[in-house]
Amino acid sequence: MSQVAAIMMDVAGNHGAVHRFGGEEFAIVMLGTDQKEARSLAERLRGGIDRAPITYLGRPLGTVTVSIGVASTQDGQPSTNLMQRQASLLRAKAGGRNVVITDWATGDAERRAV
């Protein structure tokens, strides 16, 4: 888990802050980021984890994949609204592995399996 978190922090860089909000769930909060930038970061994150030699107790785990939901909120909306949108993206986990799903504040949803 710490290796995945390190990859997240590296990919997020100055673009956002990484937070853990569940057992195996993390969030990167990015202010003022458009949909294209957010999706690009999510794809870099997904690919970085997919290619990383992740180990547990010194033993290689093989390929580790992630399901990523990208969501937004509009100015003036409470932050709880974003968390509700993010909760709806749990379908990324149910819909398969190694996917990025976007759900932008405009209501547009897009699924891209990778």
Instruction: Give me the pLDDT at residue 7, please.
Output: 92
Q: Among the options 24, 25, 43, 110, which is catalytic?
A: 24
Q: What is the pLDDT of residue 111?
A: 44
Specify the DSSP class assigned to residue 39.
H
In this prediction, residue 114 carries a pLDDT of 38
Walk along the chain (114 residues) and give the pLDDT tens digit of each residue.
688 889 999 998 888 888 887 777 788 888 888 888 888 998 999 999 999 999 989 899 888 888 888 877 776 676 666 666 565 567 677 777 788 877 776 555 444 433
The whole-model pTM stands at 0.76
Q: How many whole angstroms separate alpha carbon 18 and alpha carbon 34?
A: 18
Cα distance between residue 32 and residue 3, in whole Å: 27
Q: Is 43 a catalytic residue?
A: no
